[in-house]
Amino acid sequence: MPPRAKITKEMIVDAAFAVARASGMENINARTVSQRLGCSTQPVLWHFKTIADIKKAAYEKADRFHTESVLNMHGGDPMKDIGLNYIRFAATEKNLFRFIFQSDEFSGKSLSELINGGEFAPLYGMLSQQAQTDMEQAKVIFKSLFLYVHGYASMLANNAMQYDEEEISKDLELIFEGAVYAAEKGGK
């Protein structure tokens, strides 16, 4: 009899990610992960002490996947590209979007803590350059854009709404111009 394939921690994380992507984070458990791997639950529970640990690792993989998707820019308008990618991700990866943004990961944090955290820092430089403003105004503009884009994305991820990229693109241009105008007026 040939030796059994060894189930690695990475394989388990990939399987948990696939479960979340296909049927939602609430379906990540030892049984669904082991079924996806074609093994018993023993290797899954050997590598991870709890299902919460598996979910955390799958969350980190989903977050990296989301970041790569969002930062995949094509045109000469980085903020619009990022906004469209964020919304498109929510429309096409509904389960992963809900896993990342609607799973209490940010519980206990304020919006200011989220915006001022280091995760968005690279975007502020791009935004500052695009809007021809300083970093503090870039944060104010980003907050408006983030709230708008996240709201749009949440509507698409949680409802059977139709994704209309042309309409969304026009809306993003309008909100960007409005946010820049408001930041300039607020700074004077």
What is the CATH classification number for the domain harbouring 16? 1.10.357.10
Asked whether residue 101 falls in the same domain as residue 171, the answer is yes
Q: Tell me if residue 120 falls in helix, strand or coil.
A: helix
Last residue of a domain, one of 66, 90, 112: 66
Asked whether residue 105 falls in the same domain as residue 55, the answer is no
Asked whether residue 123 falls in the same domain as residue 173, the answer is yes
Please say whether the beta carbons of 72 and 60 come within 8 A: no
How confident is the model at residue 148, as a pLDDT? Answer: 94
Range of the domain at 160: 71-188
How confident is the model at residue 115, as a pLDDT? Answer: 80
How confident is the model at residue 130, as a pLDDT? Answer: 87
pLDDT category of residue 58 using cuts at 50, 70 and 90: very high
Q: How many domains is the chain built from? A: 2
Please say whether the beta carbons of 184 and 137 come within 8 A: yes
How confident is the model at residue 188, as a pLDDT? Answer: 52
In the block, tokens 């803590």 appear at: 113
Q: What is the mean pLDDT of the chain?
A: 90
Asked whether residue 106 falls in the same domain as residue 79, the answer is yes
Which residue from 85, 84, 102 is spatially nearest to 158, judged by alpha carbons?
A: 102
Asked whether residue 85 falls in the same domain as residue 155, the answer is yes
CA pair distance 75, 61, nearest whole angstrom: 26
How confident is the model at residue 5, as a pLDDT? Answer: 61
Last residue of a domain, one of 66, 95, 114: 66
The pTM (predicted TM-score) of the whole model is 0.88
Asked whether residue 158 falls in the same domain as residue 114, the answer is yes
Q: Tell me if residue 181 falls in helix, strand or coil.
A: helix
Please say whether the beta carbons of 7 and 37 come within 8 A: yes
Last residue of a domain, one of 66, 89, 117: 66
Asked whether residue 7 falls in the same domain as residue 84, the answer is no
How confident is the model at residue 112, as a pLDDT? Answer: 83
Q: What is the pLDDT of residues 15-34, one digit of tens each?
A: 999 999 999 999 999 999 99
CA pair distance 139, 145, nearest whole angstrom: 10
Dihedral Cα 5, 34, 60, 101, nearest 10 deg: 160
Which residue from 88, 85, 158, 178 is spatially nearest to 123, judged by alpha carbons?
A: 85
Mean pLDDT in residue range 143-158:
93
Asked whether residue 157 falls in the same domain as residue 79, the answer is yes
Tokens, residue 78: 């980085």
How confident is the model at residue 187, as a pLDDT? Answer: 57
CA pair distance 80, 145, nearest whole angstrom: 10
Asked whether residue 62 falls in the same domain as residue 87, the answer is no
CA 69 remoteness from chain centre: 8
Q: Is the pLDDT of residue 150 over 90?
A: yes
Asked whether residue 21 falls in the same domain as residue 81, the answer is no
Asked whether residue 121 falls in the same domain as residue 180, the answer is yes
Mean pLDDT in residue range 73-84:
85
Q: What is the pLDDT of residues 92-123, one digit of tens each?
A: 999 999 999 998 877 778 888 888 877 778 88
Asked whether residue 47 falls in the same domain as residue 91, the answer is no
